[in-house]
Amino acid sequence: MNVEKWKFSEHAASLVASIKVCTKQKDLQKGARIHSYLLKRGLLEKDIYLGNALIHLYAKCGILTKAQEVFNDLPFRNVVSWTSLISGYIQHGRYEEALELFYRMERCENLSPDSFMFACIINACGKLGHLDKGEDIHAMIVREGLIEKDTFLGNALIDMYAKCGALVKARQIFDEIQVRDVVSWTTLINGYAECGHVEKSLVCYEEMEHEGFSPNEITYVCILKACASIGALDKGRKVHGQIVREGFLEKSILLGVALVDMYARCGTLGKAQQVFDHLQFRDIVIWNALIGGYVHKGHGEEALSYFTRLQCEGRVPDAITFMCVFSACSGLGAIERGKEIHAQILSEGLQCKNDSIGNALIDMYAKCDVLSSAQEVFDQIQTRNVIAWNTLIGAYAQHG
């Protein structure tokens, strides 16, 4: 055995492990020092594992230009090199660039994508709504004989077709998967719900239970959203009971939000408040669900009361909170309260950063007959969208 080669391999393995630790901790400073060391010693030219680890580090941390630079400088590349870079682009929402890279690999390299890369690129097609490209990649997967034995990849295809509105195709893929898991069922259930086929999503949920699958947290969230959208209160209550029995609610903020929202949108505000009060952890999304529920059902006073309570507990409102509160002020004609909250926003420098807050303020002032203030807010918005224009134009028209 070549002792020098053994020493280098051992050293390289140690460096790869160090880079992986930097990736996990998102420690770019230390990762950059290791990168510099590798360049000085010329080690990147000798070991592809080091290059791949660096690409993954920079991609995971969102420094995609640096990841691309390391990728471009590699003397040769394998599937891991391409997958690390492509998945980085996808992780940070740059789906078109990810697709371009994938097709570049197909054209220029004699490499066969693995299941993980196919799943990543299928995800990009779904996010972009590129059904034609998704079908092309699906055909590649079929040629490779991967779909029948890979549940993860099958689930990615179901999700892509559902996001593109091709629900018949999504169901067809679901039926072809030899081994389905709870993710397969949840993906199909969510696909039906997101495309407006709520009744089908509920039927699919019943099929899932009949076949002996136990819903997970995301399944329950999808079903509660479906119940909320059609006002299926009885079904929502039944699901709530299952969630409590299985102990999910104690550790899931997502389920807390979904339950509060479901009861609020079904008009059962007392129950929404009860769920809210019993939650161990409340983030701003849960507060918004309850405040928004009160506003939606015309209970502006209660909405403002919870807004006050939110601030007393030291919570920081976000743009959605303020939009709900201004809507409450509009409904009540509580212009003085609206002005107080507007002043708070200005002191925190939020209005100019968020068009939605500006639009809500214009609407509030217009509905409270303070058109000069509505115009003033409009003039201060840096980037006006069509909603801002329509709101102000409608206000002037309404008041002659």
pLDDT digits (tens, 9 = 90+) for 38-94: 999 888 887 889 999 999 999 999 999 999 999 999 988 999 999 999 999 999 999
pLDDT tens digits for range 232-286: 999 999 999 999 999 898 888 999 999 999 999 999 999 999 999 999 888 999 9
The b-or-e profile of 141-165 (16+ CB within 10 A means b, else e) is beeeebbeebbebbbbbbbbbbbbe
pTM equals 0.82
Evaluate if residue 112 carries a pLDDT over 70: yes
Q: How many Cβ atoms from other residues are within 10 Å of residue 47's Cβ?
A: 18
* pLDDT at 347 (0 to 100): 83
Distance CA 201, CA 184 (A): 13
Amino acid letter at 300?
Answer: G
Cβ 351 vs Cβ 345: under 8 Å? yes
Residue type, position 32, single letter: A
pLDDT at 184 over 90: yes
The percent of residues above 90 in pLDDT, for the chain, comes to 72
Average pLDDT over residues 316-321: 90
How far apart (Å, rounded) are the C-alpha atoms in residues 59 and 55?
A: 6
Per-residue pLDDT of 326-384, as tens digits, reads 999 999 999 999 999 999 888 877 766 667 888 899 999 988 989 999 899 888 887 78
Residues 303 and 297 sit within 8 Å (Cβ to Cβ): no
The confidence band for 1, taking pLDDT boundaries of 50, 70 and 90, is very low
pLDDT of 148 reads: 72
Please report, rounded to a whole number, the percentage of residues in the chain having pLDDT higher than 70: 97
